[in-house]
Structure 1
Amino acid sequence: MNPNMYLSALLMAATCCTLMLAYLSYKRRSSPIAISYGLGMLVSSFYTFGYGFEIISQQLDHIRFWLRIEYVGILLGPVFYFLMVLHYTGRESWVRTRNVLLLLLVPSFTFITHNTNEWHHLFYTNMTIDTSWGFPLVSLEKGPLFSVHVVFSYTLFFISVFFLVQMLLRATPPMKKQIIFMIIGSCGPFMFSLIYLSNIFHSPLDFSPFGFVISGIFYTWGVFQFNLLRLAPLAYQKVFESIQDAVIVFDLDHVLTSYNRSARRIIESLHPKGLGQHASQVLVQYPQLLAKLLEQEPLNDVRKIQLSNDPSSRTYNVHLSLVQHQSGKPIGKMLLLNDVTEAVQAEKKLRDNAQQLSELNTFKDRMFNVVAHDIRDPVAVLVNLMDLLEEEIQESNADHEEIIHEMKHQIHNTFALVEGLLEWFRSQGGGQVFHPVERDLHYSVEASIRLLRVRSENKHIQMVSNISPGVCVYADKEMLDLILRNLLSNSIKFTNPGGQITLNAERKDQHIVVSVSDTGEGITDEQARSLLQDEYPVSATGTAGERGIGFGLNLCREFVRLNGGEIWFDSRPSQGSNFYFSVPLAPQSNANESSPYSVQVEDNT
């Protein structure tokens, strides 16, 4: 059998290979790269098929016919190859109808001039038969239009190779193999054609179609091994980069192999030079991530991690998973970081809101007790006065003007108290709202003494204030009045008839310390341990059978704290008690170091 028959058979095999690749591309025609690649393989089959018959032809006319078939692939192959590379490297925006038509201008002109060469001989100046290889081969002398075709084709080829090499340099390691296969497969026909055109071997045999044998092998391997037609490497890279979560990939030896843009924003130590470094170097500033990565068995649980000790740093859900080959064999590990800062903050806000609601509910309960605590005593006085009035009316027709006047006075005081409490309730609609003002302590003390005067007189208890006018404090008026009323009320309750209650004020640093001292029964050690401590202390009974102790003091403790002060006491059983609380000075009083604080004012009415 002549050698040309073997060569023809080899070219038929290459034709079958390119047609198979064209068919595989057709099956994946939803991808733009598959369309351009498939068309390139289809027109290339014209080249190999036509040359396979050309080298077994015996007559020049037959050779001319097969040359016309070959030139369908020779002219269109470089164009479709260039379009495929544009898709492959992410330059799809360049593939527009206008640009494609411009690319087809030179091949169309070449096709016309090639088929009309007998009229002008500008493509081939001469065409003869050469039998030096033992079988007839055409020997062609190229004309000027042939040079135009060669320059155009190789310009597209070198631009395409430049784009591929450019992408190879910035691609991730898993994608480099696919790009290398693409470059090698592309070089086959063009490099063989370059050898033929350079006339190195002085041979009439065109080696270009045999390059498709090499291309077919590499492209077929690429299709089945690397899914060459499913998605271009740059497209994979774009998907990888567009993921909002941070993704960091390591191999089984914990060597960094890849990461996306989101990971680079979060992990400062990630940079291109870090590829190939061990995780202990890359994550040295992030010990929590390193510990998660080095776990023996990747966990399916999601762990919340803050990458720095700064309380304002963002919070991430960190998940570690295995990267597996198609066969199921592990080939690496992947850290996935999902920013959940907003969710964590929202959760914290919900917890804070729930706690605030709980506090408001507790505050509401306390305020109901305050209302009952403050209103109960004036109402009790009114009841006693009514009893006295009833007895006087029954015993005689005496003048009751004094009792009626006192009843009127107490009723007005009670009404003013209720109005003040209601107004304060309205101001506290969002919780315990603090409205500090400058307040003369003397007037607050005198107002509280007047309100409790009848109760103290009923028990023959003398209340003495040693606080002079001009002692100004900076506190919430209603809170300060409640503190004073509660402390005085408790002193009256636990002081025996004939006793005395004394109020003093003394400056310490930037505070005024107010003391309420009584000559009552004092506080036992058991009571002292719970007083100002328990949230709901056990009630006790006063010297005249009055009920209640503890809750009012806890309220005082909270109000004193809100005003920036402290409250404490000392007491001995049967020797009385001393309660102290501090209140900040008024701002303009801070510089006044010589203000008098002690002038005795007795309530002897």
Structure 2
Amino acid sequence: MNYNLYLSALLMAATCCSLVMSYLSWKRRELPIAISYGLGMLAGSFYTFGYAFEIVSNTLEHIRFWLRVEYIGIPFGTVLWFVMVLQYTGRQWFVRKRNVGLLMVVPLLTFAAHYTNDWHHWFYKSMTINESEGFPLVSLVKGPLYEVHVAYSYTLFAIGMGLMIQMFRKATPRMKKQIALMMIGSWGPYGFTIVYLSGVIYMPIDLSPFGFVFSGVFYMWGIYQFNMLRLAPLALQKVFESMQDAVIVFDLDNSLTSYNQSANRIIKGLNKKVLGQPADQLFSHYPVLLERIMQEPSSGSKVQFSGQADDKYYNVHLSIVSDNNQKPVGKMLLLSDVTETVRSEERMLDHARQLSELNTFKDKMFSVVAHDIRDPLAVLINLIELMEEEMQACGEDHEEIVHEMRQQIQNTFTLVESLLDWFRSQREGMIFNPVERDLAHAVQTALRLLLVRSEGKRIQIISEIPKGNFVYADKEMLDLIIRNLLSNAIKFTDSGGSIRLRADRKDDKMVISVSDTGEGISSDQANNLLQEAFPISSVGTAGERGVGLGLTLCREFVRLNGGDIWFDSSPTLGSTFYFSIPVPSEASSTLSSSMEGVVR
């Protein structure tokens, strides 16, 4: 049996090996480098398959046929190998359709020239049969286009090897083993071809296809031992597909291996150009993340990223990626967006804080109520006792006692009315429901309720607020604010005085003022009024008594409606109380929708 049959069997085995590697690459086709590597192996399989039948063919016509099969892959193998080297050495940015198209110009010309050689003989000048080895072999006289093809292929090979040598020099010791296997495997077809074309050693058989056997051994070793070319990164298999969370994969030297689209949206600067670069360069603007990457694997911890459209919170988890033999091959950083969860927690804490404030406010109010309700009731009891004693003695005039009782009962009624307002606002949570309201209508409603009191003291109340001035506030709260401020003005204004109401718009707020000609507020009272401590009730100009709840409720209700309250006063010259309320607008609508959930 001639040795060409053994060589043919060896080439068929190499073809099967190349096809298996092409299939494995197809299964990982989501990686660009797997595509270029798989197509390169497929191109090589055409070469080895065709040459396996060429060396066992008996006629020149059969040899020509199998040469055409070989040249389905031969022209394109070097370009595909060069593209793979660009991707492997971190130069994916060059692998664009336009650039790849330019690289394919010479291979396409070679392909066309080989198939049309019978017309022009520029690729092969002649083809003859040589049977000196005991079996037919083809003798080829190469033409100029063949020389162009060889020169182009070895030019790309030299550039590619230069890129890998440059990568080898800068790589870590662990990566150098992978790159060395890549370089040795790449020398297979090209080294054997140099020996064959140079004629240094007489070889009747073309050695180039056998170089693929040599390359296949080293490539398979590298893929199995070192996960070379990153054809099967386990992290990508597990989590990359359809992931909303950001996944970033590093090798054991903390160099970037891969990432998904979610990571690209979160981390600035992630692109194909930076693959293979160390983490300390890529994450210099993210010191918290860099610290996590450099540490040992850790459970989740929250970090906040600033500088985006909105500050985001992410739960960070670092884990080791292991192969099937439980051997560490890299690290995986997982970022889960927990912004909404954190925002919900913050809202809940804010709600809890406001509930605590309301509860504290209510406790303070109850302490005030307990003190203020006891004294007038005690006086009523004493007066009734005196009245009973006096009525037992005939003929006494009880007009003074009866008048005092009426005044105390009136004061107690005022207290009960204020308490009802307070309890109504606190029972089962206060419902905040802002609406558009005509301010003039709200003022007239309050004036009707206070008409008897103002006429009793002959006080003139003048409202300079015309109709059509709309505000955006809770109806019940607005009515209580106006009613309490007018009630206080009547209380501290002498008989025959006047009260004036005005409204002026400033930006997105309506500022309402209530001015009186009363006795004013002393400096000691002014320091405590509208402060956190509850003010002590003062006696009015006609002996009216209060409970100190009015201004406290006004302050709280103005704040809940998104406004402010303040005052100006001079002793003996009267006082002016101001409060602001939002006017109807988009901003006010947003405020009301947020406040509705806060104060429920």
TM-score (norm 1): 0.52
Q: Which residue of 2 aligns with 1:14?
A: 14
Residue 474 (1) aligns with residue 527 (2) = yes
- Structure-2 separation of matches of 1:28 and 1:257: 21
- Residue 399 of structure 1 aligns to a residue in which SS? coil
Q: Which residue of 2 aligns with 1:395?
A: 393
Map of 1:142-541 to 2, 5 A cutoff?
142-154=142-154, 181-201=181-201, 205-225=205-225, 231=231, 293=296, 323-328=321-326, 343=341, 346-347=344-345, 350-351=348-349, 353-415=351-413, 473-476=526-529
Distance 2:277 2:114 in 1: 51
Aligned-pair CA distance for 1:374: 0.6
Q: Answer yes or no: is the 8 Å Cα contact 2:292–2:318 preserved in 1.
A: no
Q: 1:315 to 1:200 in 2, by over 3 A?
A: same
Q: In the alignment, what sits opposite 1:48?
A: 48
Going from structure 1 to structure 2, the CA distance change for 1:122 and 1:186 (only over 3 Å counts) comes to: same
Is residue 2:125 matched to residue 1:125?
A: yes
Quickly say closer, same or farther: Cα 1:483–1:388, change in 2 above 3 A.
same
Per the alignment, residue 72 of structure 1 pairs with: 72
For 2:374, the aligned partner's letter is R
CA separation of 1:414/1:65 partners in 2, compared to 1, >3 Å: closer, same or farther? closer
Q: How big is the shift at 1:122? A: 1.7
Which is worse superposed, 231-240 or 57-66?
231-240
| 1:440-466 residue CA offsets vs partner (Å, 9 max, x unmatched) | xxxxxxx9xxxxxxxxxxxxxxxxxxx
Q: 1:274 & 1:102 partners in 2: Cα distance?
A: 34
CA contact (8 A) 1:83 1:95 kept: no
In the TM superposition, residue 74 of structure 1 has moved relative to its aligned partner by: 1.8
Q: Quick check: 1:173–1:257 contact (8 Å CA) kept in 2? A: no
CA gap of 1:418–1:228, structure 2 versus 1, over 3 A, is same
SS in 1 for 2:71: helix
On the 8 A contact 1:474/1:587 being kept in 2, the answer is no
Structure 1, 413-422 or 72-81: larger mean CA deviation? 413-422
Q: Deviations over 1:310-359 (max 9, x none)?
A: xxx99986767555442235678878787868756754653453354245
**1:143 Cα shift?**
1.7
Q: Which amino acid aligns with 2:352?
A: A
Gaps in structure 1 of 5+ consecutive residues = 276-283, 308-312, 431-446, 448-467, 486-551, 560-585, 590-605
Q: Cα 1:58–1:333, aligned 2, differ >3 Å: closer, same or farther?
A: closer
1:257-298 alpha-carbon deviations (Å, 9 max, x no partner): 7799989989xxxx96788xxxxxxxx999x979984xxxx8
Partner of 1:126, secondary structure, is strand
3-state SS in 2 of match to 1:396: coil
Q: Give the CA deviation at 1:77.
A: 3.4
Distance, in Å, in 2 between the alignment partners of 1:4 and 1:397 is 151
Q: Secondary structure at the match of 1:72?
A: coil
Deviations, residues 20-71 of structure 1 (Å, cap 9, x unaligned): 4345556667877666655543443332233334445565455434333322
Deviations 1:421-450 (A, max 9, x none): 7778899999xxxxxxxxxxxxxxxx9xxx
Bigger Cα Rg: 1
Over 3 Å counting, the alpha-carbon distance change for 1:427 and 1:396 in structure 2 is: same
Structure 2 counterpart of 1:405, which letter? Answer: H
Inter-CA distance 374–228: structure 2 relative to 1 (3 Å threshold): same
What's 1:141 paired with? Answer: 141
| Shift in Å, 1:202 | 6.8
Check 1:484–1:410 CA distance in 2 against 1; reply closer, same or farther (3 A cut): closer
> 2:288, 2:223 → 1: CA distance?
42
CA positional deviation for 1:124: 1.7
Report the secondary structure of 1:138's partner residue: strand
Counterpart secondary structure, 2:72: helix
Return closer, same or farther for 1:472/1:370 CA change in 2, 3 Å cut-off.
closer
Q: Greater shift after overlay, 339-348 or 142-151?
A: 339-348
Superposed CA offset, 1:142-164 (max 9, x none): 22222343355456656766777
The answer to whether the Cα contact below 8 Å between 1:90 and 1:234 also exists between their aligned partners in 2 is no
Of 366-375 and 201-210, more deviation after overlay is shown by 201-210
Q: Give the residue type in structure 2 aligned to 1:353.
A: H
State the alpha-carbon separation in 2 of the partners of residues 159 and 176 from structure 1: 19
Cα distance per residue 1:392-426 (max 9 Å; x no partner): 44533443332233233434444555567777889
Structure 1 residue 215: Cα displacement: 1.9
The change in CA–CA distance for 1:321 and 1:19 in structure 2 (over 3 A counts) is closer
**Structure 2 vs 1, CA of residues 5 and 195 (structure 1 numbering), >3 Å: closer, same or farther?**
same
Tell me the amino acid that sits aligned with residue 221 of structure 1: W
Deviation at 1:214, TM superposition (A): 1.1
Asked if 1 retains the 8 angstrom alpha-carbon contact of 2:254 and 2:278, the reply is: no
Cα deviation code 1:230-258 (max 9, x no counterpart): 84779969969x9966979796xxx8677
CA distance in 1, matches of 2:336, 2:27: 37
Answer yes or no: is the 8 Å Cα contact 1:107–1:149 preserved in 2: yes
Deviation sequence 1:505-559 (CA, Å, 0-9, x none): xxxxxxxxxxxxxxxxxxxxxxxxxxxxxxxxxxxxxxxxxxxxxxx9xx9xxx9
Q: Which residue is equivalent to 1:493?
A: none
Deviation track 1:117-149 (CA, whole Å, cap 9, x = no partner) reads 333222222334557777664333222222343
What is the letter of the counterpart of residue 403 of structure 1? I
The verdict on how the C-alpha distance between 1:415 and 1:159 changes in structure 2, with shifts beyond 3 A counting, is: farther
The aligned amino acid for 1:370 is V
Residue identity over aligned pairs, in percent, reads: 54
Amino acid paired to 1:475: N
* Distance in 2 separating the partners of 1:265 and 1:38: 31
Matches of 1:38 and 1:479, distance apart in 2: 76
Distance, in Å, in 1 between the alignment partners of 2:65 and 2:352 is: 89
Contact 1:55 1:137 in 2 (8 A): yes
Is the partner of 2:324 in helix, strand or coil? coil
Q: Matches of 2:229 and 2:66 in 1, distance apart?
A: 31
Report the counterpart of residue 533 of structure 1 in structure 2: none
What amino acid does structure 1 have at the position aligned with 2:122? L
Q: Distance in 2 between matches of 1:243 and 1:176?
A: 34
Counterparts of 1:320 and 1:26 in 2: how far apart (Å)? 30
CA contact (8 A) 1:424 1:478 kept: no
Structure 2 residues not aligned, in runs of 5+: 269-275, 281-286, 306-310, 431-491, 493-520, 539-546, 553-567, 572-600
- Opposite residue 375 of structure 1, the aligned amino acid is I
User: Using the alignment, how far apart are the partners of 1:247 and 1:64 within structure 2?
Assistant: 51
- Name the SS of the counterpart of 1:206 in structure 2: coil
Q: d(CA) in 2 for partners of 1:196 and 1:52?
A: 17
In 1, are the aligned partners of 2:245 and 2:334 still within 8 Å (CA)?
Answer: no
